[in-house]
Amino acid sequence: MKKTDLIVGQGRKTSLTLFAALLICLSPLYGADDRNPINVNLIIDSSASFSSVKDEVISWISGRLDTILIEGDNVTVWSAGPSARVIYTGTISGAADKEAVKNSIRQLSGSGASADFSGALREASSRQSSSYSYTLLISASPEALSPALTGQQASLLRFSRVEEFSGWRALVVGLNIDARVRRAAASFFNQ
Q: Are 75 and 101 in contact (CB under 8 A)?
A: yes
Q: Where are the domains of the chain?
A: 34-177
Q: What is the pTM of this model?
A: 0.71
Backbone angles phi and psi of 80, in degrees to 5: -95, 90
* Domain 34-177 in this protein, CATH class: alpha beta
pLDDT tens by residue, the chain, 191 residues: 444 344 444 454 555 555 555 444 554 444 445 788 989 999 999 999 999 999 999 999 999 999 999 999 999 999 999 999 999 999 999 999 999 999 999 999 888 888 888 888 888 888 766 567 888 999 987 766 655 656 566 555 666 678 889 999 898 887 655 555 555 656 667 77
Helix axes 142-150, 117-126, angle to 10 degrees: 50
**43 neighbors 120 (Cβ within 8 angstroms):** yes
H or E stretch including 89? Answer: strand 84-91
